[in-house]
Structure 1
Amino acid sequence: MFKSYPSDLTSEQWELLSTLLPQENPACRPRCVDLRAVMNAIFYILCAGCAWRMLPHDFPNWQTVYYYFRKWRLDGTWDKMNHKLQQWVRVCEEREPNPSAAIIDCQSIESGTTVSQDVGFDSGKLVKGRKRHFLVDTLGLVLMVVVTSAYESDQAGARKLFAKASKQISHRLTRLVCIWVDAGYQGEGFMKWVMDTYRWILEVVRRPTAAKGFVLLPRRWVVERSFGWFNWCRRLSKDYEILPQTHETFVQVAMIRLMLKRLA
């Protein structure tokens, strides 16, 4: 009998998550793998930061685990799970299921030595790697994430983020009106483009000119806290993924695990 890992799902968490997983297709060969074990293996990869081939032997074969991880990325299962859990968390916090306000920010992270696609240098942060662009609600829950080269500017990444959000989750953002941003997104042309294209209002939260050292800025601290949550996931401490889309999926998996811990 194997002992459980700290990253394993509890019975209550699995009861919630199992209702969101795709049902077995009766036209296909019967499923012979335990999806709970698959989810535990994916959470282990996320928390431990190890390679797929280094999964402990008490999990299903790493090829099987990676198959489901990739399949659910391509068919949108991770996105659907993330969205449904967000609604449950927001309702538990006595909020509307869909947000009316959000915050956008980005974070530059180093990439692994084997990563070469979409890698650049952020001259402002002096980081060679990639940049994660986040759109979060007022609770810090990630609504959308886009990973680009670190060379791309904040506004260029925001354009990709807004385009992806309007294409994939526009029906979830019907109440969205205001988005708080930092000074990197200011500019009359960009703010007018956002308003004309998506009908969203960008409100810049500026740092006080006389302030020195760390300052807790209204609204913007929420997304900074979300950055801190990802520090508990070693797989997200650097960008080890060949494809930027894989890193985006691991961000969704991290949020799913965090929300499950809140709900159960």
Structure 2
Amino acid sequence: MSAANVGDRDGAAVLLTSIDGSFPRLAHGWVDQGYRGPFLQWVKQVTGITLQVVARRDGGMRRTWAPVGAPPRIVPRFAVVPRRWVVEGVYAWLGRYRRLAKDYEYLPATSESTIYLAMALTLLRRLTRGPT
């Protein structure tokens, strides 16, 4: 958890430098288009983790400029983004817990602990479910 005035890249840099070998099997990750640029190379140099930018097929732009006299490019209103379902699925799992539906906690540490508890319960439920 970080303050609202900390950008995503800055927060990710702090997070990735703090894991410091805690996850030796972590070798690859997926990020959204906000992490493009020199950040990807920095992560590879500092942590050895490769990051892949998951982009929409239209490049993330719904409205585009077209040259004079040329028809505008047709951009779909909805586009499936590969690997995005992983993140959205985790949010959906966490959303099943009423305490996480709203941010009522005074201390960020309480919210963090509640997230850990919800994920532990979710994983335990998935492990004990048995073969389907």
TM (norm. structure 2) is 0.75
1:245 Cα offset (Å): 2.1
**Which aligned pairs between 1:1-264 and structure 2 lie closer than 5 A?**
147-166=1-20, 170-171=21-22, 173-188=23-38, 190-209=39-58, 211-264=75-128
Alpha-carbon distance between aligned partners in 2 of 1:244 and 1:159, rounded to the nearest angstrom: 20
**2:45 corresponds to which letter in structure 1?**
D
TM (norm. structure 1) is 0.40
Structure ranking higher on relative contact order (CA contacts 8 Å, 6+ apart): 1
**C-alpha distance 151-212 of structure 1, shift in aligned 2 (>3 A):** farther
Moved over 6 A (4+): none
1:246 Cα offset (Å): 1.9
Identity %: 40
1:155 Cα offset (Å): 0.7
In terms of fraction of residues, the more strand-rich structure is 1
> What is the RMSD computed on CA atoms of the aligned residues?
1.8
Deviation per CA, 1:25-58, whole angstroms, max 9, x where unpaired?
xxxxxxxxxxxxxxxxxxxxxxxxxxxxxxxxxx
Alpha-carbon distance between aligned partners in 1 of 2:79 and 2:92, rounded to the nearest angstrom: 16
**C-alpha distance 226-197 of structure 1, shift in aligned 2 (>3 A):** same
Q: Secondary structure at the match of 2:89?
A: helix
How many residues end up aligned between the 2 structures? 113
**C-alpha distance 211-154 of structure 1, shift in aligned 2 (>3 A):** farther
Q: Secondary structure at the match of 1:179?
A: strand
Q: Secondary structure at the match of 1:245?
A: helix
**C-alpha distance 214-226 of structure 1, shift in aligned 2 (>3 A):** farther
Could you list the runs of 5+ residues in structure 2 that have no partner in the other structure? Answer: 59-73
**2:83 corresponds to which letter in structure 1?**
R
1:255 Cα offset (Å): 0.5
